[in-house]
Amino acid sequence: MAIAIHGLGVSGGIAIGRALLMSQATLEVSHLRIPAHMVAAEQRRFDDAVELVREEFAAMKATHAREGVSPEVLALIELHAMFLDDPNLVETPHAMIAERRCNAEWALVQQMELLVEQFEKIEDPYLSERRHDVVQVVERVVKELVGHAANPFEKLKKGVKEEQLIIVAHDLSPTDVIGFKDHHFAAFVTDVGGATSHTAILARSLNIPAIVGLSNARALIRDEELIIIDGTRGVVLIDPDPRTIEEFELRKKQLGLERNRLLRLKNTPATTLDNVPIQLWANIEMPGDVNFALENGADGVGLFRTEFLFLKRGDSPDEEEQYEAYKKAVIVMGGRPTTIRTFDLGSDKSLDTSRIPTNPALGQRAIRQSLTEPGMFQCQLRAILRASQHGPVKMLIPMLSHLHQIEAVLDAVDQAKTSLHQDRLKFDPNTEVGGMIEIPAAALSVEMFLKRLDFLSIGTNDLIQYTLAIDRMDEQVSGLYDPLHPAVLMLVAHTLSTASKAGVPVSICGEMAGDPVLTWLLLGMGLRIFSANPTHILKVKERILRADVEALTSQARRMLRLGDPRKLQEALARLNEDKD
């Protein structure tokens, strides 16, 4: 009988194959007392190991840049190299060896555990995921120290078809990612990781199934054991019986046919049955994602997250680096709008643990942080404006809540334009500036946004979190996270209707926009611009093509009057059943 284990599906699809277990580094190192006369030698041993790993990263980046590895994967290598330059991870263990007269491995692991503990307190999901990067860098240095560095692909057997192999690992590092470049595996599963993990990024770029956060998959699955991966449902089946295999082979074939059917909608305009045009935009993490967005028929980019440019290094990227990244995305979009969001993290972006706030979600983050660092903000504003000479660019400001913030942002944009004029650098002076509605206060006072901004984008992920006072990263309360809570729907509906009366365009760029179950409800509430993960665009488009907005509008109004979330769920189910 098959054993089922559940995790987070980060790349949909079904794979059936044999498990290939990746070796796992152990960080259970011994604590040794070093004689005083050997301290200097131990410090040199530590420094040599760090330098060896640093050189490996540099050589890896240079080699694979020539071979055409995607910029996203190379950026992950840069991120790991950046950690090796951080004093908290390198200099502190070096000093600890002398202060405590301990061995290098133990000193490094102790400091790693302290940093990981700090990262776990960070609420932002992308930044919290970076604790795994710290562990992976330390693992690599420890392997050098103990002499266990090895090629993860040595165990591949000759004659085995890689398309029939499923990678099973505790975690995957950028080094592993680079190693997969010339291989064609069926799927990936890992014990740890989230939607922004390396496994998720790689799997989505290769369009193969992947599940992360399985906790104990590597311990339960034996090497070469037959397993089934359902990346859509986040389920792994271990040692399935023939009947189960036959069932999933049929489902895999059906998914392939479904994907091919949806791809035929790629160039079909997203227009409802009653001729209401809808725009389908993509959320992207990095410049290279625009190709995938276009492959799925995106009409534009509704959210280009710029945090990755900042987090892949120890300092802030300069204007030229940012300009080149934004320019690349804008050019590839070929005249379609590209909405670039300014920096949306706080002072917790640093490995400096003394700067990590108790509750980053409510602290100095996003536009609050940008306005306190005008030099960094001007650098980004200038880079975004310069990119506008290559195609339509929209500038999106996150976490606005007060009138004085809006005014300060617009003043900063004017300052950036003036400086560009003085430097005789080209840009579109009519570049639109918009704001995110992700705080209840912003939704309730949306009129002041509409008078001063060119467009709005509702960030439903944070809006739900702040409205319901729920930490999305806390598993104990994550079950209370409810996009159909009446308060959430009231805030979304108020924003859409008020903006519509003012003639200001509004999009939704949160997970709600990519959920086909909610498409008809959102259309009825007045949403005309959906911005979602590229993998969801065609599914949403299919729902739009079968929608009658006039009928949905009256149904949505009735649903919004329901005060009970359970009744809302039932009404939504009936709405979708009636249209199916």
Per-residue pLDDT band for 474 (boundaries 50, 70, 90) equals low
Token readout for 162 is 């890689």
Both tokens of residue 464?
């739900």
Cα distances (angstroms) measured from residue 138 to each of 54, 190, 478: 12, 19, 31
Judge whether residue 296 has pLDDT over 70: yes
d(CA 126, CA 132): 11
Q: Which residue type occupies 81? A: A
Give 302-332 pLDDT, tens digit per residue. 999 888 776 545 567 889 989 999 999 999 9
Q: Give 159-168 pLDDT, tens digit per residue.
A: 556 668 898 9
Q: Which percentage of the chain shows pLDDT scores above 70? A: 82
When mean pLDDT is compared across 151-165, 183-197, 481-495, 500-514, the lowest value belongs to 151-165
Q: Return the active site residues.
A: 198, 509
Check residue 69 and give its pLDDT.
Answer: 55
E strand intervals along 240-335: 279-284, 300-305
Amino acid at site 113: E
pLDDT score, position 444? 96
Q: Kindly report whether the global pTM for this prediction surpasses the value 0.75.
A: no
Q: Within a 13 Å sphere around the CA of 25, how many CA atoms are in the beta-carbon half?
A: 26
pLDDT band at 347; cut points 50, 70, 90: very low
Angle, helices 131-146/87-100, rounded to nearest 10 degrees: 50
What Cα–Cα distance (Å) separates residue 324 from each residue in 367, 384, 387? 23, 10, 8
Residue spans of beta strands (DSSP E) within 191-243: 210-212, 226-230, 235-238
- Using pLDDT thresholds of 50, 70 and 90, give the confidence band for residue 223: confident
469 Rama class: left (phi>0) / alpha (psi -120 to 50) / beta: left
> Given this model, what pLDDT does residue 546 score?
95
pLDDT band at 228 (very low <50, low <70, confident <90, very high): very high
| pLDDT the model gives residue 72 | 58
pLDDT at residue 539 above 80?
A: yes
State the Cα–Cα distance between residues 297 and 295, nearest whole angstrom.
Answer: 6
For the stretch 176-186, what's the b/e string if a residue is b when 16 or more beta carbons lie within 10 angstroms of its beta carbon? bbbbbeeeebb
pLDDT for 351 equals 38
Q: Which residue has the higher pLDDT, 233 or 288?
A: 233
Residue with tokens 């926009």: 513
C-beta contacts of 131-134 below 8 A and 24+ residues apart:
132/171, 132/192, 132/193, 132/197, 133/79, 133/80, 133/83, 133/173, 134/83, 134/89, 134/351
More confident residue, 549 or 24: 549
Q: Which range among 10-14, 41-45, 192-196 has the greatest average pLDDT?
A: 41-45
Amino acid 403: pLDDT: 93
* Token representation of residue 361: 């979600």
Cβ–Cβ < 8 Å for 166, 187: yes
Report all structural domains of the chain as residue ranges with CATH numbers, in order of start: 3-23+152-242 (3.50.30.10), 36-146 (1.10.274.10), 274-579 (3.20.20.60)
* Contact call for residues 491 and 462 (beta carbons, < 8 A): no
Check if the beta carbon of residue 28 is closer than 8 Å to that of residue 148.
no
- Say which amino acid occupies 442: A
Residue 208 binned pLDDT confidence (cut-offs 50, 70, 90): confident
- Spatial distance between the Cα atoms of 486 and 229, rounded to a whole number of angstroms: 36
Measured distance CA(318)–CA(390) in Å, rounded: 19
| Order of strands, sheet of 3-6, starting from the edge strand that comes earlier in the sequence | 3-6, 235-238, 226-230, 14-21, 165-169, 187-190, 210-212, 8-11
Reference 543, options 523, 571, 572, 573; nearest CA is 523
User: pLDDT class for 130, splitting at 50, 70, 90?
Assistant: confident
For the chain, the first-to-last Cα distance in angstroms comes to 35
Backbone Cα Rg of the chain: 25
What pLDDT shows up at residue 493?
97
Query: Predicted confidence band at 48 (pLDDT cuts at 50, 70, 90)?
Result: very high
Q: Which of 150-154, 241-245, 467-471 has the lowest mean pLDDT?
A: 150-154
Lowest mean pLDDT among 72-86, 89-103, 364-378, 379-393: 72-86
Q: For 470, phi and psi rounded to 5 degrees?
A: -125, 130
Nearest CA-CA partner of 528 in 554, 507, 558: 507
The total number of residues shown for the chain amounts to 580
Write down the pLDDT at residue 364: 72
Distance CA 456, CA 435 (A): 5
User: Bridge partners of 195?
Assistant: none
**Lowest mean pLDDT, pick from 129-138, 382-391, 426-435:** 129-138
User: Using 50, 70 and 90 to split pLDDT, how confident is the model at 348?
Assistant: very low
Read off the pLDDT band of 31 (50, 70, 90): confident
Residue 66 pLDDT more than 90? no
Query: pLDDT averaged over the chain?
Result: 85
Residue 179 binned pLDDT confidence (cut-offs 50, 70, 90): low
Closest CA to 179 of 146, 198, 151, 215: 151
The phi-psi region of residue 275 (left if phi > 0; otherwise alpha if psi is between -120 and 50; otherwise beta) is left
Q: Which range among 1-10, 33-42, 83-92, 441-450 has the greatest average pLDDT?
A: 441-450
Distance CA 198, CA 147 (A): 25
Tens of pLDDT, residue by residue over 405-447, are 999 999 999 999 999 999 999 999 999 999 999 999 999 999 9
Q: Which residue has the higher pLDDT, 83 or 388?
A: 388
- More confident site: 348 or 336: 336
Residue 370, pLDDT above cutoff 80: yes
* Pairwise pLDDT comparison (122 vs 463), residue with the higher score: 463
Is the pLDDT score of 552 beyond 50? yes
